[in-house]
Amino acid sequence: MARPAFELAGTRVEPGGRAQIDVPVAKLYTHAPLHIPVEVVHGRQKGPVILVCGAIHGDEINSVEIVRRLLRSRAIARLRGTLIAVPIVNVFGFVQHSRYLPDRRDLNRCFPGSGEGSLGSRVASLFREQIVDQATHIIDLHTGAIHRTNLPQIRAQLTSHPETASMADAFGAPVILNAELREGSLRHYAQNRGVPVLTYEAGEALRFDEWAIAPGVRGVLRVMRRLGMLAGEHRRRRPPPAEVANGSSWARAPIDGILRPRVRLGARVSRGQVLGLVADPFGNAEGEVKATADGIVIGMGNLPLANEGEALFHVARFEAIEEAENAVESFQSDYEPSNGLS
Ligand SMILES: [Zn+2]
């Protein structure tokens, strides 16, 4: 029996077909229409409907490249179920190289949104009604903010849905953060609807970090395989299982000044260890940035200029720190992130 066609924003995609759909969001005040670009791949056989979306924060372009490579991947030719791929959700911010919307709102704090609210609220509402609400599973792709980089990591509430932990495990990122939800985020909205959802955080805003993109593409394909959407083999060896962090905290600049980092992204550090030095330009005053716990550096600032109190090193804590270190080392030998120290 043939599967029904999939319909998105008035476009029908027949089983075995794919379509690129421009979902109208708004008009610019120049009168130019603005669209969210979407590609739907509708398999011949039934299965989950997975939404993979990037650039809800408009400057997080690693995520856009992950979606492009996913859509070019031959693995999805014989898909079971449906892939809704949205390379750029915040099209306004993407054009402006900005994380935010033109009204300076963060789209990822605007869900579920409303058709009568602010611009952010309207875009969230439209994206939700046309696209998000059709998905049975979601992977939301992010990077660190501007001048900040993240070791590839999955953020999810692992106990929220029986499938969430399985998706997080399948992804194969070196670190999983059992992260709390931000009110108004896509993840918060989806999870409250009972939809299993992962956030992948990797690399830096406004950059292409190959060590964030390549494992992102593989991770999405691995999740789709786990969900039974893709047949076929794992061509690559499976990475060691990620350790789940049981918390994280930021080490902050003790004084205003210029930072010299002393550790790399992914480093294992111990409580009290000096992660970097901050000095004024003369070197008269110098302060140490110290780790507040044993853990792994999963995020750090790349801009060497810091104000007192600025978050510089994100350290995740683990029950099984050895295993966490192994997972990160294995990841780094595969992808070799180079960062921080020269
Ligand atoms: Zn983001």
CA distance linking residue 268 with residue 328, whole number of Å: 9
| Distance from the alpha carbon of residue 279 to the mean position of ligand 1, in angstroms | 30
Mean pLDDT, the chain, as a whole number? 93
| Distance from the alpha carbon of residue 142 to the mean position of ligand 1, in angstroms | 4
| Distance from the alpha carbon of residue 201 to the mean position of ligand 1, in angstroms | 7
| Distance from the alpha carbon of residue 56 to the mean position of ligand 1, in angstroms | 7
pLDDT at residue 339 is higher than 90? no
| Distance from the alpha carbon of residue 314 to the mean position of ligand 1, in angstroms | 16
The answer for residues whose C-beta is within 8 angstroms of residue 184's C-beta and 6 or more apart is 108, 109, 110, 111
| Distance from the alpha carbon of residue 186 to the mean position of ligand 1, in angstroms | 11
Cβ-based neighbour number of residue 337 at 10 Å = 20
Say what the pTM is.
Answer: 0.95
**Angle made by CA atoms 306, 309, 311, in degrees to the nearest 5:** 70
User: What was the pLDDT predicted at 233?
Assistant: 64
Q: How confident is the model over 58-65, as a mean pLDDT?
A: 98
**Is the distance from CB of 51 to CB of 138 less than 8 angstroms?**
yes
| Distance from the alpha carbon of residue 57 to the mean position of ligand 1, in angstroms | 5
Question: What single-letter amino acid sits at 30?
Answer: T
> Tell me: the pLDDT tens digits for 110-169?
999 999 999 999 999 999 999 999 999 999 999 999 999 999 999 999 988 889 999 999
| Distance from the alpha carbon of residue 146 to the mean position of ligand 1, in angstroms | 10
Q: Picking from 1-5, 292-296, 335-339, which range would have the lowest pLDDT averaged per residue?
A: 335-339
Q: How confident is the model over 89-93, as a mean pLDDT?
A: 96
Element (H, E) at 335: helix 321-335
| Distance from the alpha carbon of residue 86 to the mean position of ligand 1, in angstroms | 15
| Distance from the alpha carbon of residue 61 to the mean position of ligand 1, in angstroms | 10
CA distance linking residue 152 with residue 96, whole number of Å: 25
In total, the chain counts a number of residues equal to 342
| Distance from the alpha carbon of residue 306 to the mean position of ligand 1, in angstroms | 22
| Distance from the alpha carbon of residue 295 to the mean position of ligand 1, in angstroms | 23
**Is the distance from CB of 218 to CB of 172 less than 8 angstroms?**
yes
| Distance from the alpha carbon of residue 66 to the mean position of ligand 1, in angstroms | 14
pLDDT category of residue 342 using cuts at 50, 70 and 90: very low
pLDDT at residue 337 is higher than 90? no
All residues with CB under 5 Å from ion ligand 1: 57, 60, 142
DSSP β-bridge partners for residue 248 = 316
Give the SS3 label for residue 317: strand
Closest CA to 215 of 298, 153, 167: 153
User: What was the pLDDT predicted at 338?
Assistant: 56
**Is the distance from CB of 243 to CB of 324 less than 8 angstroms?**
yes
CA distance linking residue 324 with residue 316, whole number of Å: 10
> Tell me: the pLDDT tens digits for 250-309?
999 999 999 999 999 999 999 999 999 999 999 999 999 999 999 999 999 999 999 999
| Distance from the alpha carbon of residue 244 to the mean position of ligand 1, in angstroms | 20
pLDDT at residue 202 is higher than 50? yes
| Distance from the alpha carbon of residue 278 to the mean position of ligand 1, in angstroms | 27
| Distance from the alpha carbon of residue 2 to the mean position of ligand 1, in angstroms | 39
Kindly write down the DSSP assignment for every residue of 144-197, as one continuous string.
Answer: --TTEEEEEEEEE-TTSSHHHHHHHHHH--SEEEEPPPPTT-HHHHHHHTT--E
DSSP β-bridge partners for residue 86 = 53
**Is the distance from CB of 303 to CB of 292 less than 8 angstroms?**
no
What's the token pair of residue 52? 């993979």
User: What was the pLDDT predicted at 341?
Assistant: 42
